[in-house]
Amino acid sequence: MKFLSAINMTGGYGGADIIHSCDITVEKGEIAVVVGPNGAGKSTAMKAIFGMLDLSEGTVTLDGKDITHMAPQDRVPIGMAFVPQNRNVFVSLTVEENLEMGAFIREDDISETMEQVYELFPMLKEKRNQPAGELSGGQRQQVAVGRALMTKPKLLMLDEPTAGVSPIVMDDLFDRILEIARTGIAILMVEQNARHALEIADHGFVMVQGENRYTDTGKALLANPEVRRSFLGG
Partner 1 sequence: MEILNALALLANFVVVPATAYGAQLALGALGVTLIFGILRFANFSHGELMSFGTMAVILFTWVLQGQGVIIHPLPTALLALPVGILVAIVLSLTTDRLVFRFYRRKRANPIIFAIVSVGVMFVYAGLVRIVIGPDDQSFADGARFIITAREFKELSGLAEGIAIKQTQVVTIAVAVAVVAAMFWFLQKTRSGKAMRAYSDNEDLALLSGIDPDRVVMIAWIITAALATIAGTLYSLDKIYKPFIFLQILLPIFAATIVGGIGQPVGAILGGFVVAYSEVMLTYAYKKFLAYLGPSGWAPDSLVQLLSTDYKFAVSFIILVVVLLVRPTGIIRGKVIG
65 or 87: CB nearest partner 1: 87
Quick check: 161 and 82 in contact, CB under 8 A? Answer: no
> Which one of 38-46, 61-69, 95-103, 221-229 is the stretch in contact with partner 1 (CB under 8 A)?
95-103
Quick check: 12 and 165 in contact, CB under 8 A? Answer: no
Q: Please work out the total of residues on this chain that contact partner 1, with binding judged by CB under 8 A.
A: 22
Give the one residue of 102, 138, 204, 210 binding partner 1; rule: CB under 8 A.
102
Please give the Cα distance from 200 to 195 (Å, whole number). 9
Q: What is each CA distance from 177 to 18, 33, 187, in whole angstroms?
A: 28, 12, 8
Which amino acid, 13?
Y
For the segment 56-85, give every residue that binds partner 1 (CB under 8 A). 72-73, 76-77, 81-82, 84
Give the one residue of 57, 66, 105, 136 binding partner 1; rule: CB under 8 A.
105
Question: For the chain, what is the total number of helices (H) and then of strands (E)?
Answer: 10, 10
Reported as half-sphere exposure (CB side, CA atoms, 13 A), residue 112 has a value of 4
147 sits near partner 1 (criterion: CB under 8 A): yes
79 or 204: CB nearest partner 1: 79
> Which one of 90-98, 166-174, 187-195, 220-228 is the stretch in contact with partner 1 (CB under 8 A)?
90-98
Please give the Cα distance from 135 to 78 (Å, whole number). 31
Q: State the residues that interact with partner 1 by CB under 8 A.
A: 72-73, 76-77, 81-82, 84, 87-93, 97, 100-102, 104-105, 147, 151
